[in-house]
Amino acid sequence: MTTPHRLRGVTLVELMVTLSIAVILLTIAVPSFQHLVFDARRASLTNTLAGSLQQARAEAMGRGQSMVVCAVDDSDADTPRCVDTTDWSNGWMVFACATQPCTDIGSDDTLLRVVRPGPGKVAASIKGPVTFEAPLGEIATTTEITFTISTAAHCKRTLTIKRNGHLSKDRGRDCYD
């Protein structure tokens, strides 16, 4: 004789409880994940800018000539131009300066790198280019230069170039508040 098969499954109440728990967990997790994404973008943007500045300093010491990092008007252009601004959010370029003054790239200058940054804001404490002088890689200004990198209003990192050309990063405030 065969025994009747019992149907197995979940009741509507069990399903609703499971879905409610899932919604609560997602409500908690999504904002935390957004903060993690903002923090990763800030770190990436800071490291990209630091890499460009370190490259310029190393090239100035290695080549024995001035190297310039400047904000550009359009990083996608065939021939980007330096702009006299504190806003570096459109991108920047690194070039070897063969002729003085080194305010923009000229026909004798050598373009090394053009950077188109991702989302975020990059602001410098000075207008104009950052010039690293040979042979020691010092910056050509009398004061240190600070860049503020942000991906959200309350989330910032700073990158400071000391007068001697050394870089220092400040992690800044976390995006987790």
pLDDT tens track for 53-85: 999 999 999 999 999 999 999 988 888 999 999
Which residue intervals of the chain are DSSP H helices?
A: 12-63
151 CA to centre of own chain = 9
Distances, alpha carbon 15 to alpha carbons 9, 10, 22, 173, in Å? 10, 7, 11, 41
Comparison of pLDDT for 149 and 174, the residue scoring more: 149
Q: pLDDT at position 177, please?
A: 42
Average pLDDT on 123-143 reads: 93
Q: How confident is the model at residue 175 (pLDDT cuts 50, 70, 90)?
A: low
Q: pLDDT at position 71, please?
A: 96
Q: pLDDT at position 104, please?
A: 84
Asked if residues 131 and 67 have their Cβ atoms less than 8 Å apart, the reply is yes
Q: How confident is the model at residue 125 (pLDDT cuts 50, 70, 90)?
A: very high
pLDDT in tens, 27-52: 888 877 777 788 888 889 999 999 99
The CA distance from 97 to 108, in Å, is: 8
The residue type at 39: D
Distances, alpha carbon 89 to alpha carbons 42, 46, 146, 167, in Å? 12, 12, 15, 20
Q: Which residue has the tokens 């800030």?
A: 42
Q: pLDDT at position 38, please?
A: 81
Q: pLDDT at position 151, please?
A: 83
Average pLDDT on 95-121 reads: 88
Q: What percent of the chain has pLDDT over 90?
A: 59
Average pLDDT on 88-109 reads: 89
